[in-house]
Structure formats: C-alpha cells, structure tokens
C-alpha cells in the first residue's frame, strides 16, 4: 500500500502518517454541544471524521476513535462572557439541563447511524469534571491566575501561542468580549465560578469555588484520559483552528511542561455553507438531517454530497445539489445491481478473483492523498461499469468502496432511495399497487383503464414516469 498523506493544519502541509504506537491509530474529534439539534453542517464534520477513521482501518491500523459530547461549559460564543448554552436552552424549554443534554445526544447518535458513521466512543464532558479540576490545579501555579469570574489561562506562559491559528495573540482574540482583569485578550477560562447569589443546574465544587469547567479544558482532559498524550490525530471544523484548538494546545503544553501539542496532526474540515454563508446553530436558522429526510431524501444522499467534495473545500448546500447526489447514488446502486445480476445468472464466472495491485491502487492512491474522496468516487464508477472485469471481482471492488466511503452500495436498493416526502398524501404501498394494476392494464392493451389509473395517481400528487432511464417509475 502507498503512504497515507494527510494535511496537517499545524504545519500547513501534507505529511505522511506515522503512528505513534506501531500498528495503531488514535483519533480525537471534537463532538457536538448538545443544547440543540445538530445541523447538516455539523454532520459534515462527522462524515469527515468517519471517513478518516475508515481510511485508517483500511490501511490496517487498529483504530481508537473518540467523539466527545459537550454537555457542559460551552458559552453562546467562543468568548468567556455570555450565557451558558446548556443552561439557556434548559431555561427556555422548562427542562433540566441534564434532560436537554440527554435528548440532543440521543438525536445526534441516531443521525450518526443514519449517515452510516461507524460507532466510536462518545464520552460526556460531565463525566470528567473531577479530572478537569485536577488538571487545572496542576497548571494553576505557572500558567493560570484567579479572577472573580474563575480561573484563567495566561497564554503568554506557553511557547508559540496561536501557532495553529497563525494569528498573533492580540489580533486573534480581538473580537472577543473582554473579561475585567484578564491579562491578555486571548486568555481564557479554565473554570467559571458561579457568581455569588446564583446557582447553575450544572455546577461542581472546586478550589476556585462552585462552578463549571471552561469549554476548552474538556478536550485536553478527555483526549489525554482516553488516548494518552501524545496521540495521532485531532479533528474538528475549521472554526476550531482559530480559538478552541489553539487553547487546547496551550493547555496541553502547560500540562506536559514542554512543547508537546497533545496531538501530532491537527485536521480541519471546511464549512458547509448556503447562500447566507456558514450554516450555524447560533442563528437558529439551519437544516437538520431530519429536514432532509422530511423532504424525501435518503440520508446517504447527503453523505454522498459530502464525499463529492474534498473535506478541505467549502461545500455549498442546495436542494438541487442534494437531488443530483441522490441521482448519482441511485446510478451507483443500479450499476451494483447489474453486477450482482451478472453474478447470479452465471454468465460470468464465480469464484475468487484476488484484486491485482493495480486494482487496489485505484482507491489506495486517491484515498491516501489526503482523503481524496471525489477521485475515489470517479474511480469506483469506472470500475463498477468495466464489463470486461469479472463480476466477482467488481463486487470485491464495491466491498472495498463500501468500507472506505460508507455508502452501503452492496445492500442499498433503488426503492429505498425513492423520494418520500413526509407530507405525501398517499402511502407508498398504495402507489405500488396502483402502478402494478396499471401495468396489467397496459399489458392487456386496456389503455383507457391505464389512463384512468395514471390520472388518479396524478390527482394525488404522483407523477408516473414511463421509460425513465433511471427507472424511478414514479415520483411525488
Ligand atoms: P459545535 O457543536 O458548534 O461545537 O460544532 C460541532 C462540530 O461541527 C465542530 O467540529 C464544528 O467545527 C463543526 N461545524 C460547525 N458548523 C459547521 C459547518 N457549517 N460546516 C462544517 N462543520 C461545521
Ligand atoms: Zn474540542
């Protein structure tokens, strides 16, 4: 196999992956803040993290992958002042912060499954508060100072603060609301003490008073606890390259008493945008995976939409684009169905056809080149349609593609991909029944009856698609 080259945001260059522990790959991906639904932009970050994990497994590494759940400590901006997202969501829903977190975590995990994102560890920040307190206490002397609001990290105490963001200390944090008494604009909270007279639903005792951990500390602590420092790869959306990850690195350096940044390679996916710009939770105006499903789209069409773009490119979401991805997925599924049929009718020899190096290389090179999924998809389409290649061999190629891309091409059926809007006026099995009756009528040359059925379907919002090359038969 060829080398796996990955783009490291720390060095802004492609680097050959070399595991810290031979034969193993350890990956940490910043997970969701569970005060609201995740939008499809967030899900792009996990499709990317999952693809990375799949590629590492394909390359033969034993993978340990963590996607944490932020159920405490994330404020309504990257600043240290402002409302706590969890507490705010709980107050407006009239529920406990713990219930809010449990609910949105559950929905998040269901979305992961619908997108065929493999199961990994999902530790919750609230289960690691004790370790966060211990970490903060261990770096307090040299790297932190106390204010009324809590314990603050002094960014001037570590080498090269903000190297990842490529921004100087002040300029990088200029837009952040300042907290009275902070030494540098970029200093950030390790602990937020509950103001006198207030109580939070989520708060713990600490040497800095009752309160809650800052947001950045959870990822330093959980990655160290679950993967050990240093570990191989840390991922997140590109927004995290500017503040959250530089702060994690600073905490890691303070804790290690040296230049160790915690992870060796830092990887960032670019944004999913729409006409108004980056899709974001705080504006409240965003699309969930469920919204796509309600419009009738299969979740894997969205996965394919993500894979068609390189993870470091911005990706624009449009309904037309999603529709095109759905059609592309269906063409792939139909091509695989033809290969399966060729195998079944026995015209093509059965048996084992080990893939040649050339055939494996189709995927290996593209995916090893910083996860070039668009190229893998094109190579796959060519390979599946290559009639001269024995069907048994082509099935094997699809199996590899499924392992890498997670599109379930071997099991997905074209029926499952049919557009099924949630507000459709007619059930699918009824459509199928009417279509079957119309076929019988046409076979019997009873065109009058066939037209009556077509009109009845049309009246209920179903368009019959005779002779459609994609074989959809009907659409709503
Ligand atoms: P959050 O819950 O806000 O911490 O976001 C969860 C993950 O989604 C993080 O890795 C973010 O960087 C990422 N993310 C947020 N918005 C987008 C977007 N529009 N496109 C891609 N990734 C995003
Ligand atoms: Zn994080």
pLDDT tens sequence across 22-40:
999 999 999 999 989 999 9
- Dist. CA 341–CA 346, nearest whole Å: 9
Residue 328 pLDDT grade (very low, low, confident, very high; cuts 50, 70, 90): very high
CA 197 to ligand 2 centroid distance, Å: 31
pLDDT higher than threshold 60 for residue 175: no
Atom of ligand 1 nearest to the CA of 33: 2
Name the residue with higher pLDDT: 252 or 78: 252
Q: What is the distance between the alpha carbons of residues 12 and 310, in angstroms, rounded to a whole number?
A: 16
Say if residues 87 and 200 touch (Cβ distance below 8 Å): yes
pLDDT in tens, 201-246: 899 999 999 999 998 999 999 999 999 999 999 999 999 999 999 9
**CA–CA distance, 55 with 364 (Å, rounded to integer):** 9
User: What is the chain's length?
Assistant: 476
Contact (Cβ atoms closer than 8 angstroms) between residue 278 and residue 41:
yes
Is the Cβ atom of 68 under 6 angstroms away from ligand 1?
A: no
Averaged pLDDT for residues 372-386:
94
Answer yes or no: is pLDDT of 247 > 80: yes
Beta carbons of 292 and 308 less than 8 angstroms apart: no
Whether the Cβ atoms of residue 292 and residue 355 lie closer than 8 Å to each other: no
Tokens of 237: 């959306």
- State which of 37, 66, 239, 316 you would mutate to test the pocket of ligand 1, scoring each by most atoms of that ligand within 8 A of its C-beta: 239
Rounded to the nearest integer, the mean pLDDT of the chain is 90
Residues 6+ apart with CB under 8 A from 458: 464
Specify the pLDDT at position 168.
52
Is the predicted pLDDT of residue 176 greater than 60, yes or no? no
Q: Give the DSSP H or E segment for 6.
A: strand 5-8
Q: What is the 3-state secondary structure (H, E, C) of 305-374?
A: HHHCCCCCCCEECCHHHHHHHHHHHHHHHHHHHHHHHHHHCCCCCCCCCCCCHHHHHHHHHHHHECCCHH
Chain segment 112-159, per-residue pLDDT in tens: 999 999 999 999 999 999 999 999 999 999 999 999 999 999 999 999
Closest CA to ligand 1's atom 21: 271
CB of 287 within 6 A of ligand 1: the answer is no
In this predicted model, what pLDDT tens digit does every residue of 435-451 receive, in sequence order? 888 989 988 998 888 88
Rounded Cα distance between 74 and 97, Å, is: 13
R_g over Cα of the chain: 26
| pLDDT surpasses 90 at 178 | no
At 77 the three-state DSSP class reads coil
In eight-state DSSP terms, residue 199 is -
Of the CA atoms within 13 Å of residue 198, those in its CB half-sphere come to: 13
Relative to beta strand 277-278, strand 463-465 is unpaired
The C-alpha angle with vertex 72 and arms to 234 and 182, in degrees rounded to 5, equals 80
The b/e string for 249-267 (b: 16+ C-beta within 10 A; e otherwise) is bbbbbbbeeeeebbbbbbb
**pTM of the prediction?**
0.90
pLDDT band of 174, cuts 50, 70, 90: very low
Higher pLDDT, 41 or 423: 41
Torsion angle, CA of 98/100/104/109, rounded to 10 degrees? 20
Name the superfamily (CATH) of residues 5-280.
Answer: HUPs (3.40.50.620)
Task: Determine the average pLDDT of the residues in 366-391.
Answer: 93
d(CA 409, CA 415): 13
pLDDT of residue 302: 98
Contact status, residue 307 vs residue 51, Cβ threshold 8 Å = yes
Distance from residue 41's CA to the centre of ligand 1 (Å): 6
Domain residues of the chain, as ranges?
Answer: 5-280, 289-415, 424-475
User: d(Cα 31, Cα 70) in Å, to the nearest integer?
Assistant: 7
Give the model's pLDDT for residue 177.
58
Q: Give alpha helix (H) positions in 94-128.
A: 97-114
How confident is the model at residue 462, as a pLDDT?
81
The larger pLDDT score, comparing residue 56 to residue 471, is at: 56
Q: Which of 253-257, 297-301, 359-363 has the lowest mean pLDDT?
A: 359-363
Question: Which residue has the CA at smallest separation from atom 1 of ligand 1?
Answer: 32
Render 411-435 in DSSP notation, one character per residue. Answer: T--TTTTS---TT-SS-HHHHHHHH
pLDDT > 90: percent of the chain:
64
From residue 28, alpha-carbon distances to 80, 107, 153, 261, 367 in Å are: 24, 21, 23, 13, 20
CB distance 162 to 188 below 8 Å = no
β-strand partners of 14:
7
How far is Cα 296 from Cα 476, in angstroms, rounded to an integer? 9
Mutate-to-test residue for ligand 1 from 45, 218, 245, 282, highest number of ligand atoms within 8 A of CB = 45
Ligand 2 centroid, distance to 226 Cα (angstroms): 14
Measured from the Cβ of residue 180, the count of other Cβ atoms closer than 10 Å reads 8
pLDDT band at 81 (very low <50, low <70, confident <90, very high): low
Give the containing element (helix H, strand E) for 163. none
Tell me the sheet residues that pair with 414.
none
pLDDT over 70, % of the chain: 94
Confidence label for 44 from pLDDT (cuts 50, 70 and 90)? very high
Mean pLDDT of 57-76: 90
Whose tokens are 């800095």? That residue is 208
């Amino acid at each position: 196999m060829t080398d796996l080259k990955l783009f490291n945001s720390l060095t802004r260059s492609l680097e050959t992956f070399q595991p810290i522990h031979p034969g193993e790959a350890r990956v940490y991906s910043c997970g969701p803040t569970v005060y609201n639904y995740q939008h499809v932009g967030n899900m792009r970050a996990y499709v990317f993290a999952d693809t990375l994990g799949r590629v590492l497994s394909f390359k033969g590494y034993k993978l340990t992958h963590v996607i944490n759940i932020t159920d405490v400590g994330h404020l309504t901006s990257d600043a240290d002042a402002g409302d706590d997202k969890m507490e705010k969501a709980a107050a407006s829903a009239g529920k406990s912060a713990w219930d809010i977190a449990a609910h949105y975590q559950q929905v998040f995990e269901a979305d992961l499954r619908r997108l065929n994102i493999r199961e990994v560890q999902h530790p919750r920040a609230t289960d690691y508060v004790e370790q966060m307190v211990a970490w903060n206490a261990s770096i307090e002397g040299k790297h932190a100072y106390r204010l009324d609001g809590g314990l603050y990290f002094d960014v001037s105490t570590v080498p090269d603060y903000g190297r990842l963001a490529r921004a100087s200390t002040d300029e990088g944090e200029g837009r952040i609301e300042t907290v009275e008494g902070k030494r540098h604009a970029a200093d950030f909270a390790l602990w937020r003490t509950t103001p006198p007279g207030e109580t939070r639903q989520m708060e713990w005792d600490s040497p800095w008073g009752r309160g809650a951990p800052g947001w950045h500390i959870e990822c330093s602590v959980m990655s160290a606890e679950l993967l050990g420092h240093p570990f191989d790869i840390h991922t997140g959306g590109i927004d995290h390259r500017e503040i959250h990850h530089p702060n994690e690195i600073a905490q890691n350096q303070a804790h290690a008493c040296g230049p160790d940044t915690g992870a060796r390679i830092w990887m960032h996916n670019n944004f999913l945008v729409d006409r108004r710009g980056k899709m974001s939770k705080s504006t409240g105006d965003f699309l969930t995976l469920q919204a796509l499903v309600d419009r009738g789209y299969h979740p894997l069409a969205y996965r394919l939409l993500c894979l068609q773009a390189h993870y470091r490119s911005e990706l624009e979401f449009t309904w037309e684009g999603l529709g095109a991805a759905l059609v592309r997925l269906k063409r792939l599924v139909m091509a695989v169905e033809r290969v399966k049929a060729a195998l079944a009718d026995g015209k093509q020899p059965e048996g084992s056809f080990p893939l040649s190096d050339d055939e494996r290389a189709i995927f290996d090179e593209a995916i090893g080149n910083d996860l070039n999924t668009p190229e893998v998809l094109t190579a796959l389409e060519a390979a599946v349609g290559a009639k001269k290649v024995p069907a048994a061999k082509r099935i094997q190629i699809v199996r590899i593609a499924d392992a890498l891309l997670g599109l379930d091409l071997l099991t997905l059926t074209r029926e499952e991909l049919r557009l099924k809007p949630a507000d459709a006026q007619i059930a699918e099995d009824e459509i199928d029944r009417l279509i079957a009756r119309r076929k019988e009528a046409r076979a019997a040359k009873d065109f009058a009856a066939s037209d009556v059925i077509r009109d009845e379907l049309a009246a209920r919002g179903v368009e019959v698609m005779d002779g459609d090359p994609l074989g959809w038969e009907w659409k709503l």
